[in-house]
Amino acid sequence: MIIGRNRRPSSVKSLSRSAVHVWDLGNHFFVIMVEEVKNSLQELLSKVSGLYSVIITDRDGVHLLKVNTDKAPEHAMRPNFISTFGLAVDQGSKLGLGKTDTLICVYSQYQVIQMNKLPLIVTFIASDSCNTGHILAVQKQLDPIIASLALAVAES
């Protein structure tokens, strides 16, 4: 949730650094309550059995928010892995099937679900036995968070 957009960073100095995150996007500074958002994402991890990680990135794979358990595979959370979603979306559009909304990849031990929320990408990493439908149903709960972050990133 965006709580302020200011032209001068001095107006946010009084806020606790552990509770907020400031992105310098050109001449604007966006202050987002990181702890509140992380708590919401952590709650999602506990609700969906087998869900190991929720990562919100830009289209280049740069992490904006990440919440994970100790079971999350570190190699799948790297920006170079997450950024390949853009390449897959581009290749899929060449098939003439329309815009790609969600990409689901199931591996021997994990599944990776990536949602296209341009300019952001939401990545879920889960066990191979996790109910994919539960993860897809979480999308509506994340929409307000994603909309706030997308607005901040889009204006940069």
Cβ atoms of 31 and 21 within 8 Å: the answer is yes
Compute CA distances 155 → 1, 29, 79, 139, 151, whole Å.
15, 11, 22, 23, 6
The angle, 0 to 180 degrees and rounded to 10, between the axes of the packed helices 34-47 and 139-154 is: 150
Q: Residue 17: pLDDT band by 50, 70, 90 thresholds? A: very low
Neighbours of 92 (CB within 10 A): 14
| Entry pTM | 0.75
Q: Which fold has domain 2-154?
A: Beta-Lactamase (3.30.450)
Residue with tokens 């109910």: 131
Closest by Cα among 86, 78, 48 to 62:
78
Q: Residue 14: pLDDT band by 50, 70, 90 thresholds? A: very low
pLDDT digits (tens, 9 = 90+) for 39-78: 888 888 888 999 999 998 887 888 888 899 988 888 777 7
pLDDT digits (tens, 9 = 90+) for 92-150: 778 887 888 898 999 999 999 999 888 888 999 999 999 999 999 988 888 888 887 77
Query: Is residue 73 reached through a cis peptide bond, with omega within 30 degrees of 0 on the bond before it?
Result: no
Domain boundaries, the chain: 2-154
